[in-house]
Amino acid sequence: PGNVQGGSDTPAGWSSGISIDQEIKNYLQKNPATKTRFGSLEFGVMVPEHADTWTRMSYAGPNKPIAPIDDPYQMFNKLYGSMKDRELMKSVLDDLKQDMDKVRSQISKDDQRLLDDHMQLVREMEKDIASHKNEAVGHAVPQLEPGVRRDNDNMPRISKLQIDLMVSSFIADSCRIATLQYTNSVGQPRFTWLGITEGQHDLSHEPDSNATAQEKLTRINKWYAEQMAYLLKQLSETKEPDGSGTLLDNTTVIWTNELGQGNSHTLENIPWVLVGGGLGFKTGRYIDFKGVPHNRLLMELAHGFDHHITTFGNKDHCGQGVLGLK
């Protein structure tokens, strides 16, 4: 319980524990063989900036929500800003060396020694730049469509940019874990590009007997499925540099929702879609687990990374352990 009143009787609060993405990230970051630059990246599409339980999905620990980055240009700078800084620094160093060469013959020996010290620093900085340049070989920096503003009607364009950046971060091995959050709980995006002017949340609370609302919700969910399909297509068309297949062969993508049904706020029968060969799960099938708590699925994800936790979240919901998806 907390102090944020939602759609139920009991006010909500920040999560009392870590989320599974961060649990797995922490495990991978402890091992030098799987440690990456960022560990995890949190992408967003039209997620409100204000921090409350309706806008946060990932948690670093109890009462520690992680804000997703829903500005593609900000995410680009996080991924590649240092590279641009190094390019600028190289240009400055080139000019500096030329200036030092010009003044060397015009100064005293004592000043020349000071100049040599400065030149040594310049050479060390050049070596650092060269080492980073070698690390970037083989990885093309994505070219973002310029000037995409953060507003409702640009959701499709923002979604594509964020997915492209996510795939790029996997190619560069900047992280092994990434999340992509669309809008927020009780969000009201209007899917105008689909000819839908009502807010999604309002539509989701219409009764099942409202055929018009159900048809619109079906179109909305089809659009979300198309975003998933685009991500999977990008992963499947990207070859691993070591020849071990594609990114999709070595990635597991999970698509889910926070509720089973919007108009009743049920936490039962929540669909989970798992695609890809990264964790070795047997796919291409539909399974009804008959009310099994999803804690056991989250444990299964951790086990897929050889992180053999025996419980996750509420211990009372961990029952007989992992589901056995392999």
Among 124, 160, 155, 131, smallest CA distance to 144 is for: 160
Residue 239, CA distances (Å) to 116, 215, 235 in order: 47, 38, 8
pLDDT in tens, 170-200: 999 999 999 999 999 888 999 999 999 999 9
Token pair listed for 235: 């992963």
pLDDT in tens, 122-163: 666 566 555 555 444 346 788 888 889 999 999 999 999 999
Helices and strands of the chain, counted as H and E runs:
7, 6
- CA-based diameter of the chain, in Å? 91
Query: Who contacts 63 (Cβ-Cβ below 8 Å, separation ≥6)?
Result: 13, 14, 15, 16
Q: Distance between alpha carbon 89 and the CA centroid of its chain, in Å?
A: 29
Across-strand partners of 255? 273
Indicate whether 255 pLDDT > 80.
yes
Indicate whether 85 pLDDT > 90.
no
Q: Distance between alpha carbon 275 and the CA centroid of its chain, in Å?
A: 16
Token pair listed for 230: 């685009």
Locus of tokens 């992992």 = 322
Query: Who contacts 315 (Cβ-Cβ below 8 Å, separation ≥6)?
Result: none
Residue 210's pLDDT band (boundaries 50, 70, 90)? very high
Q: How far apart are CA 161 and CA 144, in angstroms?
A: 7
79, burial (CB in 10 Å: exposed 0-12, middle 13-18, buried 19+): buried
Locus of tokens 């949340």 = 201
Q: How far apart are CA 181 and CA 58, in angstroms?
A: 10
